[in-house]
Amino acid sequence: MALLPKSLVHVIESFERLPGVGPKTAQRLAFYLLHVPQEDLERFADSLQNLKKHTVLCSICKNVTENDPCIVCSTPSRDQHLLCVVEQPTDVLSIEKTGKFKGVYHVLHGSIDPLNNIGPDEIYIADLLKRLKRLEGATVEVILATNPNMEGEATAMYITRQISQLNSENGSAIKVTRLAHGLPVGADIEYADEVTLSRALEGRHEF
């Protein structure tokens, strides 16, 4: 690194801070930018500067948006009583691509992860519960679409307990469902692990 210009070293170090980017990848990216035309480089720098300047979190669902409320929350045809809870804004994009979901979302921006000191207060669970309280008296379904890993399951269980308590205290009738887990399309059963097969059996439906 001592042989490299400081400006290049700083760029490499910045790339290394990104998730999933190791030292070698950081170096390749930095040297690639070094050979990019100055005009393209300035456009790239402007895009990075505007990333936070021109985006906000939707005050309703906490998704990343240019305008508050976001396009999903402000669309009258979306079912406001069908609420899909996801971990990240990218999960919203994935579900929207299916074209099958006509409800609204709530983005937690993470999951409960005690090993990394992330508890319920560090993600947007309290905002979800406040949102559900405002829908008191209505028939509401909350779809828990957190990831099928240890952190996602812990988050789903915590939210389920909180909603159950909300139902008991306020006489609400909020229904909680979980995304089905099972075999991916095109997969062979012999290569599936025991947990995946168990979830597939539990989530079976009439054909």
How many C-beta atoms lie closer than 10 Å to residue 189's C-beta? 9
Q: Whole-angstrom distance between the N-terminal and C-terminal Cα of the chain?
A: 61
Taking the C-alpha atoms of residue 81 and residue 132, their distance in angstroms, rounded to an integer, is 9
Residue 96, amino acid: E
**What confidence tens digit (pLDDT) does each residue in 20-55 have?**
999 999 999 999 999 999 999 999 999 998 988 899
Residue range(s) defining the domain that contains residue 111: 77-202
Whether 45 and 104 map to the same domain: the answer is no
pLDDT in tens, 159-204: 999 999 999 887 778 999 998 888 788 878 788 888 888 888 887 7
Q: What is the pTM of this model?
A: 0.84
The answer as to whether 67 is a domain residue is: no
The number of domains in the chain is 2
User: According to the model, what pLDDT value does residue 138 have?
Assistant: 80
Does 152 fall in a domain? yes
Q: Show the beta-strand stretches assigned E in 36-193.
A: 56-57, 64-65, 79-86, 103-107, 140-144, 174-178
Residues 178, 138 within the same domain = yes
CB 136 within 8 A of CB 167: no
